[in-house]
Amino acid sequence: MHTLSVKTKNQTEMIDITRDVSAVVASSGIRDGVCTVFIPHTTAGVTINENADPDVQRDILMEINKIVPRQDGYRHAEGNSAAHLKSSLFGSSATVIVAGGRLCLGTWQSIFFCEFDGPRTREVWVQVSGT
Ligand code: ZN
Could you give all domains of the chain from N- to C-terminal order, each with its CATH number?
2-130 (2.60.120.460)
CA 47 – ligand 1 centroid, Å: 21
Cβ proximity of 2 and 127 under 8 Å: yes
Q: Calculate mean pLDDT across residues 8-37.
A: 98
Give the predicted TM-score (pTM) of the model.
0.97
Provide the H-helix boundaries in the chain. Answer: 18-28, 54-67, 81-90
- What pLDDT score does 102 carry? 97
- What pLDDT score does 105 carry? 98
Cβ proximity of 40 and 125 under 8 Å: yes
CA 42 – ligand 1 centroid, Å: 8
Q: Calculate mean pLDDT across residues 19-31.
A: 98
pLDDT in tens, 28-77: 999 999 999 999 999 999 999 999 999 999 999 999 999 999 999 999 99
Phi then psi for 53, rounded to 5 degrees? -110, 110
Q: What is the mean pLDDT of the chain?
A: 98
CA 80 – ligand 1 centroid, Å: 5
